[in-house]
Each structure stands twice: as C-alpha cells, then as structure tokens.
Structure 1
Amino acid sequence: MDFFIVPTATFRVLFVFIVLAHDRRRIVHFNVTEHLTAQWKAQQIVEAFPFDTAPSYLIRDGYGIYGERVTRRIESLGIDEVVMAPASPWQNAYVERVIGTLRRELFDHVIVLNERHLKRLMSSYLDYYHPWRTHQSLDSDAPDGRPVRAAEPCNVVEFPVVQGLHHVYLTKAA
C-alpha cells in the first residue's frame, strides 16, 4: 500500500491511497481525499479488506504519514505489517511501479479538476487496467487474466476506453 499525490487545475493537492495485490498486480482498493486525517487512513484499511479478505502481510512505507491509528487497525485485522526503511522505494517496487504507470498512462495526459473527477478517472482506468493492460511479469497477461485463442481470420474492432485515452482491440468474425 502507498500514497501518492495528484495536483488539480486549481492547484489543490489530492492524496490517492492505493493497495496492490502483488501476485497479479491487481489494485484491490483506492480512494482519494484532500484532507488526509488519521481516521480516514484507518478507515481505508477496513474498506480495502472487507469480509475476512485481509492478506497475511501488508508492505508499507516507513514514513510517519500512517500513524499509530493505522498500525492498530492493521493489527486488529490480523495482518502482519512489514514496514520499509525510510527513503527506500525499491523495497515496495510493485506498488511504486503501478504509481509510475498511473502517472505516465493517465495523469500525464489529463488535468484533474477535483476529487470527484479524480475518482472517476481512476475507476475508468482500473476498468481498463485489470482486464486489458498487459504486464511482462505476468507473461504479457492482464491482472484479471485473459483466455488465449487460436489465430483465425477475423476483423479487429477498436474500442476507446478511459475517455479515449487508451484503446482496446477485439476480434470479430470475418
């Protein structure tokens, strides 16, 4: 899990909280806020892992941004907390890579207007990211996985996604 910031058109700073499942690079939870309070951060842990879906361990930064309340909430869910050394992003490389991907593939191309707009953009991007975006570490598969089909004569149809920022290509019988 990690936080990153996104500036808005009005020069406000929005905080994005993200939780990543390492096995398939799936983003299991995200949320956005302008006011990063201890209560909000602790609540995100509960929302990320509903109904006994908590993982065995959770890797997080060693910065004080999380606070004691988040640590207590993580412990109450029976999760082992793995705290990285400060200023050591390589210790949580998967989530840092996803944040970089979000910046390059989404936030470098749009101007975020407000919190609601950012949530809508993130949701739209994740609707593309999970079933369609390939990862070399997953043998060019997507986080949700896709069936492999035999090559046969067909037409390729293009569908814009993420408000036209990306495209999905599907086959149609010839």
Structure 2
Amino acid sequence: MIVLACAYSKPKPGHIDDAARQGLESLRCGRSSASAENLEHLHPMRDGSTPHCSIGIEVSQATVAKYMMRRRGKPSPTWRSFLRNQAIGIAAIDMFVVPSATFRLLFVMLILTHDRRKIVRFDVTQNPTAGWLSRQVTEAFPWDTAPRFLLRDRDASYGSIFRNRVEAMGITEVVTAPRSPWQNAYVERVIGSIRRECLDEVVIFNERHLRRVLSSYVDYYHSTRTHLSLDKDCPRSRPIQPPRDGRIMAVPQVGGLHHRYERLAA
C-alpha cells in the first residue's frame, strides 16, 4: 500500500494571494462588480480573520476594511440641514425666568418662527402650566397659520394637555435631546439677545412691568434690529432710504436703550 502524504499550509492571517489581491484592488478602485457579490461571502471568524467561502482563502478583516470604499460625505442630513431646509415650516417655543425686584420668579414664554425670525407670541406668568402653554400656541397660530413642526425642549410643563392641543392643530412636535439647547439654537439666541440688550439693563418690578418692557423690545426687534441671517434686514423688512430722503435722525426705542435711525425730510 502506498501512502501519499499531502502537505497543507494554512495561510497566515492577513496573507492573500494574487486572485484575492485583484479582488481587493477592484474594491479600492470602486469597481461595481466586486462590491456586493464579493463581500457577501465574507464572514468574520473568531480569531478576527475572514474566510472567503467561494474561493477558499482566508482574508484578514482588517485587510478587507483597508481596501473597501469609504463613504463619502455624511450618511444622512445633519440637524443644521433640517433646520435650514424646513425653515418655512418650523416654529420654536421656549421659556426663560426673570427675577423681579421682590424676588419673585416670572416665566416668559416665546414662540419664534424660523423663516423670518419673528416672535409671533410672548407672554408672562408665575405658574406655567400645560393648559396655559396650550392656549399660547392656539393664540399664536389661529386658523390655518399653524407651522408644520414645533421645536421644543423636554420641560415638564409641556404636559399631555399641551401635546394633545398641538396634535389637534396638525403640528408635529420635535423634541430636542436632553441637555442640548443647541438643537433649539434660534430661540435660544433670541432669549440671549433679550437678556443682553434689555433685561440686564432694567430692574423688573412685577409681571405687568415685565410685559410692558418686553412689548417695547419686541417692537424694536421686529422693525429696527437687523439680522445677519436675513442679509442685515429686519424680521419686518425695512426699505433702504437713499440720501435724498433727508437727514439721519435717531429715534429712541426701548426706553432709550436703543435707537432707530431714519432719514427724515427737513
């Protein structure tokens, strides 16, 4: 009896022959013939290597990852893209606290539309309940003026009454992630502007006083204050006055904290 001994050498991990190298090279070059059909046979083993079942060779998983085509760009639209593409149909709601001279906490609610950065509604209360917030949304968007999306945070004040009212109006709620105010950046920026340009310079006595001060600032914000995102225009578009219209005059606003500059005929 003649016994034939056959030697079999197991390929080292990461070692590939010419045929496998050509297949991986086609992956690197982006050839479609080797993208789906060749990779569907690769299954990782316990030792980290990857056998190619169809041609009987062993390929390291790291080698395959090295030659696979990498995704170009981001896999999905970013949050900034969502805010920019859907700006016409997005409104944002948020609240902030203002302490009074008598150490009472007053809550201010703002609703802002993203397209022209308009403050469509604001109000002041000492007890922001879900019922009170739901009425503010109803008064901000009467009839068929409701936006497509309403952006808000995870404040507990937005209870079931608020959510049911928003759903009945045909508005889709978009709730930001926990501790992520940057996802509601536009209304957060407006709140910061109100604090820096108005409330930090005024001592608030009571709820009525705060409402009057905010009303004056909102009028200035809409008709006078320019925005870089609006090409240095106001939320209520302001026409450019040529020099022939007269001299430049300063009109005090917000109790003299700010001024509106206009050309007035002599």
TM over 0.5: yes
For residues 81-106 of structure 1, the C-alpha deviation after alignment (integer angstroms, 9 at most, x for no partner) is 10111110010100000000000001
CA distance in 2 between counterparts of 1:154 and 1:41 reads 46
Q: Bigger relative contact order, structure 1 or 2, given CA contacts below 8 A and separation 6+?
A: 1
CA RMSD of aligned residues (A): 1.3
Deviation at 1:27, TM superposition (A): 0.3
1:137 counterpart SS class: helix
1:150 correspondence with 2:242: yes
- Match of 1:97? 189
- Match of 1:159? 251
The amino acid of 1:21's aligned partner reads: T
- Structure 1 regions of 5+ residues with no counterpart? none
- Match of 2:120? 28
- Match of 1:8? 100
Larger Rg: 2
CA distance in 2 between counterparts of 1:134 and 1:111 reads 26
Are 1:63 and 1:86, in contact at CA under 8 Å, matched by a contact in 2?
no
CA 1:153 to 1:14, structure 2 compared with 1: closer, same or farther past 3 Å? closer
Give TM-score, length-normalised by structure 2. 0.63
CA distance in 1 between counterparts of 2:133 and 2:265 reads 49
CA distance in 2 between counterparts of 1:141 and 1:78 reads 31
CA distance in 1 between counterparts of 2:245 and 2:112 reads 38
The amino acid of 2:261's aligned partner reads: Y
Give TM-score, length-normalised by structure 1. 0.95
1:56 correspondence with 2:154: no
CA distance in 2 between counterparts of 1:28 and 1:100 reads 17
CA distance in 2 between counterparts of 1:83 and 1:36 reads 18
Between 1:155-164 and 1:102-111, the stretch displaced more is 155-164
CA 1:153 to 1:49, structure 2 compared with 1: closer, same or farther past 3 Å? closer
Higher-strand-fraction structure: 1
The amino acid of 1:113's aligned partner reads: F
Are 2:249 and 2:261, in contact at CA under 8 Å, matched by a contact in 1?
yes
* % same residue: 56
How many residue pairs were aligned?
A: 174
Between 1:154-163 and 1:128-137, the stretch displaced more is 154-163
2:165 counterpart SS class: helix
Runs of 4 or more, structure 1, over 4 Å off, are: none
CA distance in 1 between counterparts of 2:97 and 2:262 reads 34
- Match of 1:120? 212
